[in-house]
Amino acid sequence: MSVTSTSTAGGVRPMKLVGAILLTLAATIPWFTGSTFHFHIAVMVCISAMATSGLAVIAWVGQLSLAHAAFAGIGAYTSVLLVVRFDLPVLLGLPAGALVAGAVAFVIGSPLLRLRGVYFVLITFALNELFRLIMLDIPEYSGGSSGIAGIPKISLFGITLSSYQAVYPFALVCLSLVIGLLVLIRRGQLGRRFAAVEENLDLAESSGIPTARTQNIAFTIGSAIAGFAGAFLAHYVGFISPETFGFQLSVSYVIMLVTGGRLALWGPLVGALFLTPLPEFLRGAVEYQHIIYGVVLIAVLRFLPQGLVGLPAQLAQKGGRA
């Protein structure tokens, strides 16, 4: 399935409009309910959606990274160390986290991306573990297993966003910027190159597309976005440890991406919007939470192979047949 074919599928435009309205309405829920907890969940959705968007960019060139949490961790530690040790404003720490994560991805990307499919998945899995173990072994920088507590909150031009209600609009702005970047990539020449590489690597290569460089660009951009999301998470939650960025977090991002729609532009956002609050409905039902979570995931993957984003198209198709 090509990237372009999903984005230009005809006949679902009204559905897309409905989707956009629903997303906007979902974004305003916390203001309607006024619940601080809902603001917290909404901020977590934004952070997850940003990180998953980064993973989507990598998926657009046909690769699946299981080191995404590690890049989020690199961004988080970079920002926290710069802010705590060098008194850098958080507003600069966040992009610095993205830059360092992107730079690391760029350096290791060219040898790693020679691997494809399951081999790339395995090597990135190993990378994520390597990151966690290295961080555990340098407690003077990472806080070791104790982690770093009391991380300064996000502040904008001297104003600290101390309440969840204040953080949420900023999180929405950041998420919009990330999605805006995705739209730009998707509509530009780079997006077409990504799609060609994802569709058929050999054909793209023979057409003169520098496939290795294209994949590395996607890996760098995706990991930089993860770094930004990780830095945001660190300053929002106020506590990080190497365990925060373990393999499980990488898997959660993959699940969000696949559930939302692996190649769709809005897939990461929809996946995060669905899966971040889901555990909250199940938190009290300890005995059944993992079973229910599993069943929901299997149902989505079985009946919605294009992810939740494909639901309107599938409904429209069924409606047409009827």
Partner 1 sequence: MKRNSILAAASAFALISGSAMAQETLKIGALVTMSGAGASWGNGMKRAAELAAKDVNKDGGLEVGGTKYRVEVIAYDDSYKANEAVTAANRLVFEDKVKYIVGTVGSAPILAIQPITEENGVITMTLGFTAKALSADKSYTFRPNPTTAEVAQPQIDWIVKTQNVKTVGALFPKDETGEAIAKDLAGAYEKAGATLAATEFFERDRVDFIPLLTRIISQGVDAIELDGNSPVTAGQIVQQARDLGFDGVILRTGGPATQEIVNVAGEAAAEGMFVHSAFDPGVESAKAYEERYVETYEEPMNGFSPFFYDGTKMLFQAMQDAGTVEDTEAVKVAMENITDYEGILGTMNWTGQDRYGIAHQLDSPFYIARVTGGQEEIVARCNSAGCE
Binding site for partner 1 (CB under 8 A): 35-38, 40-41, 44, 136, 144-147, 149-150, 164, 237-239, 241, 243-244, 279-280, 283-284, 286, 289-290
Rounded to the nearest whole angstrom, what is the least distance from the CB of residue 223 to partner 1 in the complex? 20
Rounded to the nearest whole angstrom, what is the least distance from the CB of residue 136 to partner 1 in the complex? 6
Q: Which is nearer to partner 1, 2 or 35 (CB)?
A: 35
Q: Which is nearer to partner 1, 7 or 289 (CB)?
A: 289
User: What whole-number distance in Å separates Cα of residue 158 and Cα of residue 142?
Assistant: 26
Rounded to the nearest whole angstrom, what is the least distance from the CB of residue 310 to partner 1 in the complex? 29
CA 274, 275, 279, 280 dihedral sign is negative
Q: Which is nearer to partner 1, 161 or 313 (CB)?
A: 161
159 dihedral zone (left: phi>0; alpha: psi -120 to 50; beta): beta
Helices within the chain (DSSP H only): 3-7, 13-33, 36-59, 68-86, 90-112, 118-137, 139-142, 164-187, 189-199, 201-206, 211-237, 247-260, 267-275, 278-282, 286-303, 311-321
CA distances to 79, 112, 147, 148, 192 from 141, in Å: 12, 27, 10, 9, 41
Rounded to the nearest whole angstrom, what is the least distance from the CB of residue 289 to partner 1 in the complex? 7
Q: Which is nearer to partner 1, 289 or 314 (CB)?
A: 289
Q: Which is nearer to partner 1, 256 or 264 (CB)?
A: 256
Rounded to the nearest whole angstrom, what is the least distance from the CB of residue 165 to partner 1 in the complex? 11
